[in-house]
Amino acid sequence: MAFKLASSPHFKAQMQTKTVMQRVILCALPGIATQWYFFGWGVLIQVCLAIMVALLSEAVVLKLRNRPIKATVSDNSAILTALLIGISIPSIAPWWLVVVGTVFAIVIVKHLYGGLGQNIFNPAMAAYVMLLISFPVQMTSWSLPLTLAQTPMDLSLTLSAIFGAMTPEQLNLYKLGVDGIAMATPLDTLRTDLSLGLTMPESLNKALFANGFGVGWFWVNVAYLVGGLAMIKLKLIRWHISFAVIASIFICSSFGYLISPDTHVGPLLQLFSGATMLAAFFIATDPVTAATSVRGRLLFGALIGTLVYVIRTFGGYPDAFAFAVLLANLCAPFIDYYVKPRSYGHRSGR
């Protein structure tokens, strides 16, 4: 009898990696469309640019490694990595930012470790952290939702902003809201306001928030939640990691909010702001860098959710998913070693 040995990702369903990646990308489309609706053309431009750079980078590396180019590039893994990078960075970030991040993800994080199935870190999140640490100003220059912008940016203005045809002074005018507020994510705004001595209710009265949630960000998270549930239904991912991430954030933030509602973000705002649903379903569930057993996946997801809450509440970064995922990636082999499934035929008490 012959046994086939292959590296992760492994899927029980008889689906090729190419098919799995295609379906994951399709499930992400509702979230991407919602981001485009609220934050403009920059979302689609960054995604398209990242995909082109990812395919080119992968082809060059495969050529240098004397590996088959067409078969590997067509597995769509590079496209999915580029997609995650493109939707994770600010929509009007300069073009070179997404180029640097995508090249780093494909060449360094993925192929330096041997290619798909060999990398120990999530490529998209490793690239995000590298960019955030190296270029903090560009990586925190988020655009306001179009409904709050003083002058919404159309396609031509967005292209000018991304490719450097607009002066910094002109660009700053498009980053101001109707009430003069500057660009910021809801979590970043709350963090800044709390450091200035404002209470949570006072901060939530700002125009950036609507019905207690960030304008646009709530619906973006809802869209990624729908896409994530579709992936579970299609058996592209298992529910354990996503459930553990969401449950741990909800539990931790509920305790914090009960103790001090004036200084802690409530659980629903934690879940429907920033990259929560995107990361819980599309990033943390990466089969290459996550734990493998059922109990291991639950522990892996709970670790990510707890780290997210701790960093968001006490750390220096308002949205902490990239750091939490990378730290959990480091712990995945340790979790797999000590949290093993029982052997077939095992009897308790022996």
Strands 209-210 and 213-214: antiparallel
How far is the C-alpha of 183 from the C-alpha of 87, rounded, in Å?
A: 17
CB atoms within 10 A of CB 116: 21
d(CA 59, CA 127): 19
pLDDT score recorded for residue 314:
86
Q: pTM of the entire structure?
A: 0.86
User: Which of 115-124, 234-243, 245-254, 319-328 shows the lowest mean pLDDT across its residues?
Assistant: 115-124
- Report the distance separating Cα 350 and Cα 347, nearest Å: 6
Classify 272 as helix, strand or coil: coil
Q: Which amino acid is at 208?
A: L
Residue 189: C-alpha distances to residues 182, 186, 271 (Å)? 10, 5, 16
Confidence class for position 50, pLDDT limits 50, 70, 90: very high
- Per residue in 134-193, pLDDT (tens digit) is 998 888 877 777 777 666 778 888 888 888 766 666 666 656 554 445 556 778 778 777
- In the DSSP assignment, the letter for residue 177 is B
* Nearest-angstrom CA–CA distance, 143 and 71: 38
Which pair of tokens denotes residue 47? 């995604």
